[in-house]
Structure 1
Amino acid sequence: MRLCALLATLAGALLAVPGPVGWRLPSHSPRFERPGDVVLGGSFCILRFYNAVSLDFTALPAGPASSRVSSWGYLVAQSFVFAVEEINRSTHLLPNLTLGFSIRNSGDSVHGAMHETIAFLTGQEDPVPNYSCHRGPPRAAMVGDTRSALSVAMARLLGLYKFPQVSYASSLPTLSDKTQFPSFLRTRPSDLTASYAMTQLVLHLGWSWVGIITQDDFGQQAGNIASQELGQAGVCIDFHLHVPYHQSPEKIDTIARKMEKSTARGVLVFLTNSIIQLIIQRLVGIRVLGQVWVSETLLHTVIALATPGASWVLQGAFGLKLHSSHAHGLSEFFAHLHPSRTPEDMFLRRFWEATFGCRWPHGNYTAPSDMQLCSGNETLRDHKYPFQEVSRLEAAYPAVYSIAHALQDMVLCEHENSECGDPVHFQPWQLLQPLRKVSFQTPDGTHIMFDANGDLVTKFDVLQGQWSPEGQFYFVHIGNMYPHPSLENRMMILLKDSIQVPSSVCSTSCEPGSSQIPQQGAPHCCFECRPCPEGQFADQRGAQACGIICLQCPDEQYSSQSKDHCLPRTETFLAFDEPLGLVLTVVSLALASLACLILGVFLWFQKTPVVRANNRALSYVLLVSLSLCALSPLLFLGRPSTTTCLLRQITFAVVFTVAVSCVLAKTLTVVLAFKATRPGQRVRICLGPFASSSVVLAASLVQIILCGVWLGTSPPFPHKDTASEPGHLVLQCHEGSGIAFSCVLGYLGLLAIGTFSVAFLARGLPDTFNETKFLTFSMLLFCSVWTAFLPLYFSARGKATVAVEVFCILASTAGLLGGIFFPKCYLILLKPERNTPLSLRHEPWAQRDLGKGDPPSHRHSTISARPPSQQQDPGSQFLVPVLTTW
């Protein structure tokens, strides 16, 4: 007994330690109790404690006094009673068990919550920790409290005994830590879950430019988490303001001014009632309108509507409301409340007085003149409670049901690895396992279950502030948010289609086909729009962490005119059936036919002096090579293939080299023939029967070697050109090695220049036995064409490149063919009288040579007097046989 007395003394001393305005708890606190087979405890803030007297330690500290009644706290306590009575009437839930309860007043005070919790555990008015004088029915669990600060204190104490605690309103994230609070559960989610739901709503609305306002430790924690989540999703934070615990008008004004300057329309709010009202007051004063608030506690926002002008600030605001049970019959239960029906309810009279503004007469109490006495005829049936649509008056209802289902599961051993308990004799810790695993539906169909942290898994109702047609401002239900495991911890959001969703962006989204260029020194949500360049496109597939960027179209596609998608390219090449290809084909065949025709003429008239004097063998080779030159453009037309790509440039280079080398051999033969005018000269050795063939073979062999090296190292191949013609895929041959191609063309160019130089120097030799003038003219055409070819070829794009090369081939072929052979064909076909040996002797050059050294007056008579065999000088006698035999 002495030990008990000592413990009681120590407990009283501990509980009497003063706070900032120190006070002691009353010895006998009001409560509302009913007996039962199992008793549930409930801690509610019904009567708020206060003490206006500061301590000077000159007298014993006075006890606390209770001030106003919390109507919300009392009605939530009545939802607790309603749930117990409904369960006791049930025939399928604990049918053989009657639940009792003990409702206690925490006074919205940590001291009060601790006192009532220990009193409930010990069964004593002056409780002694860890000592119980209770011998009645078992205590099953404790429901409460409202504020997280109270629940934390209770949870630390109840956790020592593993005594189940189910809170109906506390939302502090720390309470989810089961290492600190192993026996704590709650029928509402954590505030972090609510803040996470806010971020999901922001993302669903498509906002990318928002502000955040926080207060106290929780608000700052929730705001930081929201900022982190939004940042990872690409949302930019324009401002992140924190309201200090000891706020001042200057600080509130600073926050309001920053909000005024912000361009973000969406604002996430993590504030309490009082701070919300202060900020709204200031925003109304400086007329900051148009911002859309998102609050995770709708009740705070609704209460703030009492501020004049608040509806204009909160227009369009979004609020989250925990989707709670709709306890059918609860309103009727509230309507039947009356002190005469439940005299054991010590709180009802105070609630009655606060509700109707009257006083119950008792003793010698005389009511003030302006205060009426309560008659008992008042009724709660038509009474409207403030903010009833968002105040969750049924908050304790699911908490009681979860305990009842846990009791039934414990009795029926519904869960594996759990001990079956005697419903009358069990330890409270035995109830924890089934309580954590409950999964049921309340009578209204609301599903109740807890996650691994003991937090309620539930959905949120989304409400929005709107004006009614009658001009009233109210919050209307516009949708729901559901936790959805298949969405990777994201929430499924369903909103009505008719709602007006405001926009909150720093920069308006770019039109399709434009990329986002971030502004210097600004977040990535602030950007400029720039059209995509040719060949690129921009759509939602180009969305990156830094915004929409332009993507390159595949090689086989090109960007549309709007640059928002890619279109397939049309394959194009210089085909035979298109007009240009058809013209080039006709010209090519015509030139080849003409060369063959001339060859036939030369073969037919091969015995005539003109054919014999033009070196028949070289003429035949030259005509064959020119016919092949005329046909080589056919390899450039049509769809390129590996074979045509390998043959076209090689064939062109080789046959043109043969043609030019034939011209060079013919020119050298004429020059050397006129140099070898005296018998015994060494130059005559170069006029042997194989001299011209050696020139052609040697010159052609060099080109063949170059082409062989080209084919062996980097041969041409088919290539798809996407850059030359927009919208087209040009099929062409790639040279493979630009150096090899340049060497082949360079050698051909050097050979042509050398031939032209020799022909130009020999242009003054006699005209009948050589064609140096015509060779000079034809090579001049050849060099001019290919000189113009180079800049045109390298500046052309697409199939125009092929057309330029084909045109140059045909033009140079026509130049050689016409410049060399047309004059001879003219003599053979149209002037046959000049194609005889006798006419050759009367050519002007013969007259000039035969009259060397004679006076001009005697030249004609001298030639006429001598026989033809005696009129030629020794050089002429040698020259004619030489040229005519080749």
Structure 2
Amino acid sequence: MAFLTGQEDPVPNYACHLGPPRAALVGDTRSALSVAMARLLGLYKFPQVSYASTLPSLSDKTQFPSFLRTRASDLVSSYAVTQLVLHLGWSWIVILAQDDDFGQQAGALAAGELGKADICIEFHLSVPSQHSPEKISTVVQKMQISTATGVLVFLNNSNFKLILQSLLGVRVLGQVWVSEGLLHTALALAMPGISRVLRGAFGLLCHRNRVHGFPEFFANLHPSRTPEDMFLGRFWEATLGCRWPHGNDTVSGAVQLCSGSESLSGHEHPFQDVSEVDIAYTAVYSVAHALQDLVSCEHGGGVCADPRHFHPWQLLHALRKVRFQTPDGTHIAFDANGDLVAKFDVFQRQQSPEGQFNFVHIGTMDPHPSLGHRMMIHLKDGIQVPSSVCSTSCEPGSSQIPQEGAPHCCFECRLCPEGQFADQRDMKSCLLCPAEQYPSQARDRCLPRTETFLTFDEPLGLAMTLMALTLASLACLILGVFLRFRHTPVVRANNRALSYVLLASLTLCALSPLLFLGRPSPATCLLRQTTFAVVFTVAVSCVLAKTLTVVMAFRVTRPGQRVRVCLGPGAAASVVLVSSLTQVILCGVWLATSPPFPHRDAASEPGRLVLQCQEGSGVAFSCVLGYLGLLATGTFSAAFLARGLPDAFNETRFLTFSMLLFCSVWTAFLPLYHSARGKATAAVEVFSILASTAGLLGGIFLPKCYLILLTPERNTAPSLRPGPWAQSGCGSLLGPALSPGPQHSPI
């Protein structure tokens, strides 16, 4: 209060200063008394800048509104440690924290930040502040069984040395210690045998600004130049080892007197390493720059202050917004909590060629506005960074499988299943490739699929094309033979018009597989199944009409019976027309509701994109095939029942055999079609079409061609005229068809 008021008997809220006002208080502020004073000074908005205090509570601007500091708080340092751990890529660590406010806050902060980054903590061990051999022994036992390599240390000097001493007799190898400071680590290096425990270590130090011109200033110091400085004489004596004469003091002969001609230039003073000149530099110059800004109105909102008459809150306002750069290039600024935006130096314990272990500067940690709360870390090239993981990383092509009852950082690696990939390390699950891509053999990337379809130029497609053209040519050739010998009894028997229609439909049946070859298009997809279904329906209905004609003919026992009406040409044409029209209607409904369309199938063949026709409505497709199957079954049944009729007058045995081949092919087709994949589906259907076409063509017409071309002597009416059947009435029915003349027979 005397400092604030300028009076020995202070009066609150009254100041009586002679000369310029006091600007700010710069000091240590580490003791409890200093904290109480900081709270009191905050009531008066009096600026205070500490260069040594690291208490996290001082960042609370509600309690300490005028407190600022140029050293990172314990929590900021702890946060920097977690950032270093994240940069090193560790995922499995141990935390050693003291059981006081500092250790609990720092440990909780580290655990929270590491938890956000999915880093697992094997042990979070609390080290007692008071000496407790039992608790220390428990900590050492857990350290011994720990599998984590990285150890985060939030301990004071004595506790850290106590832990290291306890670990000297325990076989703990490979652990890397990370600390927010180097002082306790450096002290521990002096312990005998500590190198066996402290082989790997990282440490952080808040970056210090070197005082510009201090060596020159130090060299020019002399007590005679500043006689009012009562400390300089003592400093001179302690540094140079002499005694400065003081008045009538008597000195012994063993004491060397200072002559005043000595020089501090190039001389190391005995407390050079513990000098606080460097860390106080930033605090003092922050106040100096704030005063400069206050006078020049840079951060005063356009309001200038008289340097000899200003209020503390005016300087505090400028101090909070101060921005400047030190001669060594460091940017100085305070955050919203009054803490210096700290930059850290990273040190690593390394062994020199002589076998000595030293802490070597390997990089920096610098906060960056673009990273938010993250820090930008720059480490030198070639730094050996140890690993601290529970499980080895999973290579691309495999994913992590968690171990039951273990943290998520402990896992097993399993190869991605078929059709999936993992292109990064440590993926939690494998991914599906896009529709038109497939996983590589290593399953670490996706490759573009090769388009494939049943083409004309591949061996299978070429063979099927040649077979289709051969069958179509054979059907045309047989049709030509039938036209050439149309007046012979064999051609005239059993309705030669039906034979012409059947041969024409079989020609189209043989050519329809060509629609299944080549790249699928909307047009070919519409025509494939419908063309096949219609032409085969015409062919089967012709066979049915032939079979019914023969059956009805042999049921006639007396001339003039009503059943003879069914033997006329119109009846056979009606059977073909009605059967075919029904199939055309079914196909029309299919095309109108859900027609087939081109489809790119990526699931049938690995590594290939099969271009095929999707059938659209499965129900409509089943109805079309079902109707054709029903028609074929009925035709086969009728032919089978009529197979015992005389061979000299009918072809029911050949019809039965051809329909047996037809039904067998399509009965085998159904399971093969549903089990085939990719372009094999089209190949199975093409083969079935060709096989059934060949069965009908060969079973019905090849015997007739053999009779017409190779044994023409049998293609006469006397050779084909029935014997015993003539007496039963059949001869009178079939006779006109087997005798030359203008008569017309329905058979």
| Both proteins in one fold, TM over 0.5 | yes
Q: Which amino acid aligns with 1:248?
A: S
> In 1, distance between residues paired with 2:696 and 2:276?
104
- Mapped contact 1:654–1:700 kept (Cα < 8 A): yes
2:541 to 643, 661, 674: 661
Equivalent residue number for residue 817 of structure 1: 697
Q: What SS class does the counterpart of residue 24 from structure 2 fall into?
A: strand
2:433 to 553, 567, 582: 553
Q: Which amino acid aligns with 1:179?
A: T
1:719 to 586, 596, 599: 599
State the TM-score, normalized to the length of structure 1.
0.77
Q: What SS class does the counterpart of residue 720 from structure 1 fall into?
A: strand
**What's the CA shift string for 1:703-726, capped at 9, x where partnerless?**
223222322332222111111111
> In 2, distance between residues paired with 1:478 and 1:462?
6
Residues 129 and 238 of structure 1: CA distance in aligned 2, closer, same or farther (over 3 Å) = farther
2:510 to 595, 610, 630: 630
1:838 to 718, 728, 745: 718
Q: Which amino acid aligns with 1:203?
A: L
> In 2, distance between residues paired with 1:567 and 1:605?
62
Equivalent residues in 2 for 1:438-457, closer than 5 Å: 438-457=322-341
**What's the CA shift string for 1:58-78, capped at 9, x where partnerless?**
xxxxxxxxxxxxxxxxxxxxx
- Mapped contact 1:148–1:172 kept (Cα < 8 A): no
Q: Which amino acid aligns with 2:733?
A: F
Equivalent residue number for residue 794 of structure 1: 674
Work out the number of aligned pairs and report it. 735
> In 1, distance between residues paired with 2:416 and 2:582?
51
Equivalent residues in 2 for 1:604-753, closer than 5 Å: 604-753=484-633
1:514 paired to 2:398: yes
Residue 123 of structure 1 deviates from its aligned partner by 5.1
Q: Which amino acid aligns with 1:736?
A: G
**What's the CA shift string for 1:150-208, capped at 9, x where partnerless?**
55322101111111100112222322222221111111233333222222221211111
1:874 paired to 2:729: yes
2:92 to 188, 209, 219: 209
> In 2, distance between residues paired with 1:374 and 1:676?
158
1:433 paired to 2:317: yes
Residue 885 of structure 1 deviates from its aligned partner by 4.0
> In 2, distance between residues paired with 1:175 and 1:780?
100
Equivalent residue number for residue 90 of structure 1: none
Residues 384 and 599 of structure 1: CA distance in aligned 2, closer, same or farther (over 3 Å) = farther
Equivalent residue number for residue 723 of structure 2: 847
**What's the CA shift string for 1:229-280, capped at 9, x where partnerless?**
2222222222222334435222222222222222211122222222221222
- Mapped contact 2:173–2:197 kept (Cα < 8 A): yes
Residue 119 of structure 1 deviates from its aligned partner by 5.2
Equivalent residue number for residue 172 of structure 1: 55
Equivalent residue number for residue 188 of structure 1: 71
Equivalent residue number for residue 568 of structure 1: 448
> In 1, distance between residues paired with 2:486 and 2:280?
124
Residue 769 of structure 1 deviates from its aligned partner by 2.0
**What's the CA shift string for 1:726-771, capped at 9, x where partnerless?**
1100011111222322222222222212211211121111112211
Residues 535 and 172 of structure 1: CA distance in aligned 2, closer, same or farther (over 3 Å) = same
Q: Which amino acid aligns with 1:623?
A: L
Residues 625 and 836 of structure 1: CA distance in aligned 2, closer, same or farther (over 3 Å) = same
> In 1, distance between residues paired with 2:720 and 2:128?
122
Greater radius of gyration (CA): 1
Residue 340 of structure 1 deviates from its aligned partner by 8.2
> In 2, distance between residues paired with 1:879 and 1:149?
133
- Mapped contact 1:186–1:456 kept (Cα < 8 A): yes
> In 2, distance between residues paired with 1:479 and 1:550?
37
Q: Which amino acid aligns with 1:141?
A: A
Equivalent residues in 2 for 1:97-496, closer than 5 Å: 118=1, 120-122=3-5, 135-147=18-30, 149=32, 151-215=34-98, 216-330=100-214, 383=268, 388=273, 393-417=277-301, 419-496=303-380
State the TM-score, normalized to the length of structure 2.
0.91
Q: Which amino acid aligns with 2:113?
A: E
Residue 518 of structure 1 deviates from its aligned partner by 1.2
- Mapped contact 2:522–2:598 kept (Cα < 8 A): yes
> In 2, distance between residues paired with 1:236 and 1:501?
19
1:523 paired to 2:407: yes
Q: Which amino acid aligns with 2:321?
A: K
Residue 353 of structure 1 deviates from its aligned partner by 9.7
> In 2, distance between residues paired with 1:375 and 1:680?
165
> In 2, distance between residues paired with 1:264 and 1:355?
48
Residues 830 and 690 of structure 1: CA distance in aligned 2, closer, same or farther (over 3 Å) = same
> In 2, distance between residues paired with 1:150 and 1:336?
37
> In 2, distance between residues paired with 1:678 and 1:160?
135
> In 2, distance between residues paired with 1:498 and 1:604?
95
Residue 414 of structure 1 deviates from its aligned partner by 2.5
Q: What SS class does the counterpart of residue 200 from structure 2 fall into?
A: coil
Q: Which amino acid aligns with 2:729?
A: P
Residue 470 of structure 1 deviates from its aligned partner by 1.1
Identity, % of aligned pairs? Answer: 76
Q: Which amino acid aligns with 2:720?
A: L
RMSD between aligned alpha carbons? 3.1
Unaligned runs of 5+ in 2: 739-744
**What's the CA shift string for 1:274-332, capped at 9, x where partnerless?**
22212222222323232112212233322332333334433331111111111144356
Residues 548 and 297 of structure 1: CA distance in aligned 2, closer, same or farther (over 3 Å) = same
Residues 768 and 656 of structure 1: CA distance in aligned 2, closer, same or farther (over 3 Å) = same
**What's the CA shift string for 1:524-579, capped at 9, x where partnerless?**
21111111112211023x87xxx432110001100011111100000000011111
Residues 689 and 441 of structure 1: CA distance in aligned 2, closer, same or farther (over 3 Å) = closer
Residue 838 of structure 1 deviates from its aligned partner by 2.0
> In 1, distance between residues paired with 2:407 and 2:441?
30
Residue 333 of structure 1 deviates from its aligned partner by 5.4
- Mapped contact 2:468–2:510 kept (Cα < 8 A): yes
Equivalent residue number for residue 778 of structure 1: 658
> In 2, distance between residues paired with 1:755 and 1:806?
23
Q: Which amino acid aligns with 1:436?
A: R
Residue 778 of structure 1 deviates from its aligned partner by 0.8
Residues 803 and 761 of structure 1: CA distance in aligned 2, closer, same or farther (over 3 Å) = same
> In 1, distance between residues paired with 2:558 and 2:276?
132
Residue 379 of structure 1 deviates from its aligned partner by 9.6
> In 2, distance between residues paired with 1:402 and 1:461?
21
> In 1, distance between residues paired with 2:26 and 2:170?
45
- Mapped contact 2:243–2:258 kept (Cα < 8 A): no
> In 1, distance between residues paired with 2:651 and 2:372?
91
Residue 804 of structure 1 deviates from its aligned partner by 0.8
> In 2, distance between residues paired with 1:179 and 1:446?
29
> In 2, distance between residues paired with 1:354 and 1:275?
34
- Mapped contact 1:677–1:879 kept (Cα < 8 A): no
Residues 314 and 352 of structure 1: CA distance in aligned 2, closer, same or farther (over 3 Å) = farther
Residue 413 of structure 1 deviates from its aligned partner by 2.2
Residue 396 of structure 1 deviates from its aligned partner by 0.5
